[in-house]
């Protein structure tokens, strides 16, 4: 429960972006929208309460946000190979399977959690 006048510390997805501690931050959701019936590969963002388990950041764009944040380095990739052990994990180039480049010009990749 939030007391009157207090600012929630929950991270909440809104139409304006992610709201946290009174701030609105730009964010990206899956092209499939936000869904309660999320299936792998549908391009959707799942509805639910989720814990932040990692923070990845671009050191050329911002200072380390916390002690446990990991810097995204040139050559870092994100595995999209659903049948592989590295699926949904950061990998290093060269990586011959399906992947996304972490350190590209995409503004959303400045800070990831």
- Summarize pLDDT for 59-108 with one digit per residue, the tens: 998 899 889 889 988 888 888 777 888 888 888 887 776 556 565 544 44
**Residue found by looking up tokens 């671009």 in the block:** 58
Tokens standing for 26? 């730009």
pLDDT above 70 for 112: no
Q: How crowded is residue 77: how many other Cβ atoms within 10 Å of its Cβ?
A: 21
18 Cβ contact partners less than 8 Å away, ≥ 6 residues apart = 11, 12, 24, 25, 26, 27
Q: pLDDT by residue (tens digit) across 8-54?
A: 667 888 878 888 888 888 887 888 888 899 887 788 888 888 777 88
Give the number of other Cβ atoms within 10 Å of residue 56's Cβ: 19
How much of the chain exceeds pLDDT 70, in percent? 77
* pLDDT above 50: residue 58: yes
Q: What is the pLDDT of residue 92?
A: 84
Contact 70, 55 (CB under 8 A): yes
Q: What is the pLDDT of residue 1?
A: 42
Q: E strand or H helix at 76, and its extent?
A: strand 76-79
**Residue 108 in tokens:** 């959303």
């Amino acid at each position: 429960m939030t007391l009157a006048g207090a600012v929630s510390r929950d991270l909440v997805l809104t139409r304006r972006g992610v709201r946290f501690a009174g701030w609105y931050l730009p964010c990206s959701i899956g092209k499939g929208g936000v869904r309660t019936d999320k299936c792998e590969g549908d391009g959707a963002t799942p509805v639910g309460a989720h814990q932040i388990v990692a923070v990845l950041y671009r050191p050329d764009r911002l200072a380390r946000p916390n002690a446990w944040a990991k810097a995204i380095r040139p050559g870092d990739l994100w595995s999209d190979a659903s049948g592989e052990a590295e699926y949904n994990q950061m990998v290093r180039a060269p990586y011959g399977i399906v992947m996304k480049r972490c350190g590209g010009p995409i503004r959303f990749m400045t800070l990831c959690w």
